[in-house]
Structure 1
Amino acid sequence: MQIITNQANKELKEHGNDQFPILVSEEQLSLYDTGSFLWHWHPEIELTFLTKGEMLYQVNNTGYHLKEGEALFTNSNALHTGSMYKRSDCQYLSVTFDPKLIYGFSQSILYQKYVEPIIHDFSLSAIHLNFSESWHESMIQSIQTIISLYKKMPNSYELDISIELQKMWKTLVSDDSIHSAHPAHGKLDYERIKEILSYLETHYIEKIRLADIADHVHLCESECSRLFKRYMNISLFTYLLEYRIERSIEYLSDSSLSITEVAANSGFTDSNYYSKTFVKLRGCSPCKYRKHLHKQ
Structure 2
Amino acid sequence: MRRETLRENRVHGLPSFPVSVYPDVEQLNGNCILDCHWHDEMELILVRSGSALFQTDMQHTEVRAGEALFVNSGVLHAGYLHHDDHCVFSAVVFDPKMLLSHGPDVIQQRFIEPVLHKTLLPPVHMKGTETWGREILDSLNKILRDHNTRHPAKEISTKAQLYAIFASMYPQMIPAAGEPLEANTGLSKVERIKVALGYIHEHYQEPVRLKDIADKVGMSEGHFCRFFKQMVQKSPIEYINHYRIQKASLLLEQSDRKVVDIALEVGFDNLSYFIATFKKWNGMTPSCYRKEHGSQQIAFMPLPL
User: Which TM-score band (shorter chain)?
Assistant: 0.7 to 0.9
Partner in structure 2 of residue 119 of structure 1: 116
**CA distance in 2: counterparts of 1:133 and 1:217, whole angstroms:** 42
**CA distance in 2: counterparts of 1:281 and 1:100, whole angstroms:** 36
Conserved? CA contact 1:263–1:274, under 8 Å = yes
**CA distance in 2: counterparts of 1:123 and 1:229, whole angstroms:** 29
Conserved? CA contact 2:38–2:76, under 8 Å = yes
SS for the counterpart of 1:13 is coil
Letter in 2 for 1:280: K
Instruction: Please report how far the alpha carbon of residue 167 of structure 1 lies from its aligned counterpart in structure 2 after TM superposition.
Output: 2.4
Percent of matched pairs sharing the same residue: 27
Conserved? CA contact 1:73–1:128, under 8 Å = yes
- Structure 1 residues 1-296: aligned runs within 5 Å: 1-3=2-4, 10-18=8-16, 20-29=17-26, 39-51=36-48, 57-62=54-59, 66-81=63-78, 90=88, 92-104=89-101, 107-121=104-118, 127-131=124-128, 134-149=131-146, 151-154=150-153, 160-176=157-173, 184=179, 188-253=188-253, 254-258=255-259, 260-294=260-294, 296=296
CA spacing shift, 1:269–1:233, aligned 2, 3 Å: same
Letter in 2 for 1:112: Q
Conserved? CA contact 1:22–1:98, under 8 Å = yes
Q: Encode CA deviations 1:133-185: one digit per residue, 9 max, x unaligned.
A: 5532211001122334553134xx655544432322122121257969xx957
**CA distance in 2: counterparts of 1:60 and 1:277, whole angstroms:** 28
SS for the counterpart of 1:281 is helix
Q: Encode CA deviations 1:47-84: one digit per residue, 9 max, x unaligned.
A: 22344666665444555555543322111122335578
CA spacing shift, 1:255–1:89, aligned 2, 3 Å: farther
Letter in 1 for 2:224: C
**CA distance in 1: counterparts of 2:160 and 2:292, whole angstroms:** 46
Letter in 1 for 2:101: G
**CA distance in 1: counterparts of 2:70 and 2:227, whole angstroms:** 24
Q: For this pair of structures, how many residues does the alignment match?
A: 285
Q: Encode CA deviations 1:74-116: one digit per residue, 9 max, x unaligned.
A: 11122335578988683x4432333344452574343333333
**CA distance in 2: counterparts of 1:42 and 1:198, whole angstroms:** 12
SS for the counterpart of 1:47 is strand
**CA distance in 2: counterparts of 1:282 and 1:185, whole angstroms:** 39
CA spacing shift, 1:261–1:185, aligned 2, 3 Å: farther
Letter in 2 for 1:271: L
SS for the counterpart of 2:215 is helix
Instruction: Please report how far the alpha carbon of residue 277 of structure 1 lies from its aligned counterpart in structure 2 after TM superposition.
Output: 2.7
> Which runs of no fewer than 5 residues in structure 1 stay unpaired?
none
Please provide the CA RMSD for this pair: 3.9
Letter in 1 for 2:171: S
Say which structure, 1 or 2, has more relative contact order (CA 8 Å, 6+ apart): 2
Q: Encode CA deviations 1:214-272: one digit per residue, 9 max, x unaligned.
A: 233344434433442332233222211222222222344444414x4443333223322
SS for the counterpart of 2:75 is coil
> Which runs of no fewer than 5 residues in structure 2 stay unpaired?
182-186, 297-305
**CA distance in 2: counterparts of 1:125 and 1:193, whole angstroms:** 23
Conserved? CA contact 2:48–2:87, under 8 Å = no
CA spacing shift, 1:275–1:98, aligned 2, 3 Å: closer
Letter in 1 for 2:264: A
CA spacing shift, 1:112–1:38, aligned 2, 3 Å: same
Conserved? CA contact 2:179–2:188, under 8 Å = no
Partner in structure 1 of residue 303 of structure 2: none
CA spacing shift, 1:214–1:288, aligned 2, 3 Å: same
**CA distance in 1: counterparts of 2:210 and 2:180, whole angstroms:** 23
CA spacing shift, 1:294–1:98, aligned 2, 3 Å: closer
Moved more, 56-65 or 231-240: 56-65
